[in-house]
Structure 1
Amino acid sequence: MALIFLFPLSVTKGKESFVSTECELKTAFIYQFTKYVSWPKSKKDKDRLIIGVIAREHMFNAIKKLDGKLSQGMKISVISMKDYSQLDGIDILYIESWFPIKEELVKKAVKHHVLTISDRNDAAEKGIIIALYMADSRLRFDVNLKVADASSLRLSSRLLRLAHKLII
């Protein structure tokens, strides 16, 4: 299955419309990612998929629209987070580009088997599992397989084939 989304990225309606559309497009990708990740059994035996979000209001509001949707038989819950101090119970952590990516964050996410996603184009090189970013007016994503493996997360080959870059 290809991750094809038909969201226009037109700036004809102004900057606010562009930002809103970009947030919605990123949210659509995040939702698709939830379908192609397998968590370890210790996290799998539950009925909720919890997405923690460290982001400004417009991005949080876009991701919040996933609240209540189903993915792999689990109901998605979206929560706002100020930092990464409480990763226990979080399955996915979305980090907006303004938030610093530190080694401590990566280590803690690995320990708690958290799928990390950031919109920084260098996020995968810094230890985030999925870097989801705009380049040449297109949304692209890179995957850090080394960190995904360390986190005991299994990413579908269907997802990996669509990645712009893989870090092994």
Structure 2
Amino acid sequence: MARFPTPSRTRWRHLAGLLLFACAAAAAWVPQAGQAQSPATSAAALERSVKAAFLYKFLGYAEFPATAFADGTAPVVIGVAGSDEMAGELTRIVAGRTVNGRPIAVRSLREPEAAVGVHLLFLAGTDGARVGRWLRAAPQQPMLVVSEAPDGLPQGSVINFNIIDERVRFDVSLDAADRWNVKLSSRLLTVAHQVRKGVN
């Protein structure tokens, strides 16, 4: 595993931009009227909102080959497996937004084979073995794979969320990005908690 140091000033400027967007998205989350929220439920909803905001922002730092789109107007597709709540949160966040001039669509996925045409695949949950099963069965197409399992990167994810000091952070695997044929901006790498090469 290799870690790539970056200038701290640049790193924190980019991180601040990502975190400001994530916090703004999280602040927009409110419980449904009349619905009581336990502290655990509220914390889970807040974490989900922050992660959804990051997922949207990741798209702006990822480059897909032209062959990943049917034509110049085709949408960027986010596929979510294992969390209808996350799919709903993402749908709210991306409504009316675009990435590189393309609209954004969100799909809930039940089976790996349904990921055909997906550009960002989010695998919810902490079961690393499930992440591995999904990625072995998923279509081999240009795709930014993001997970939140403790061992998500060794299972083949490009980006994996983790919680550090009660904050959402993420690690990046350059090898996985190469395998999934996705180019990541250096600006994204500067704000990652760890950038790894040769983890698998």
TM-score by length of 2: 0.74
User: Offset at 1:67?
Assistant: 4.2
Within the alignment, does 1:154 sit opposite 2:169 as a pair? no
Q: Structure 1 stretches (4+) deviating beyond 6 angstroms?
A: none
Partner of 1:4: 19
Partner of 1:43: 68
User: Could you say if the C-alpha distance between residues 107 and 148 of structure 1 is closer, same or farther in structure 2, counting changes exceeding 3 Å?
Assistant: farther
User: Offset at 1:4?
Assistant: 2.0
Q: Do 2:126 and 2:150's aligned partners in 1 also have CA atoms closer than 8 Å?
A: no
CA distance in 2, matches of 1:152, 1:57: 27
Q: Do 1:39 and 1:154's aligned partners in 2 also have CA atoms closer than 8 Å?
A: yes
The amino acid of 1:63's aligned partner reads L
TM-score by length of 1: 0.87
CA RMSD of aligned residues (A): 2.2
- The match for 1:88 among 101, 116, 119 is 116
Structure 1 or 2, whichever has the larger Rg, is 2
Fraction of identical pairs, as percent:
27
Within the alignment, does 1:118 sit opposite 2:147 as a pair? yes
Aligned length: 164
Report which of the two has the higher share of helix: 2
Structure 1 residue runs without a partner (length 5+):
none
Higher relative contact order (CA 8 A, sep 6+): 2
Report which of the two has the higher share of strand: 1
The amino acid of 2:122's aligned partner reads Y
SS at 2:113 equivalent: coil
Partner of 2:11: none
Q: Do 2:87 and 2:108's aligned partners in 1 also have CA atoms closer than 8 Å?
A: yes
Structure 2 residue runs without a partner (length 5+):
1-13, 28-36
The amino acid of 1:105's aligned partner reads L
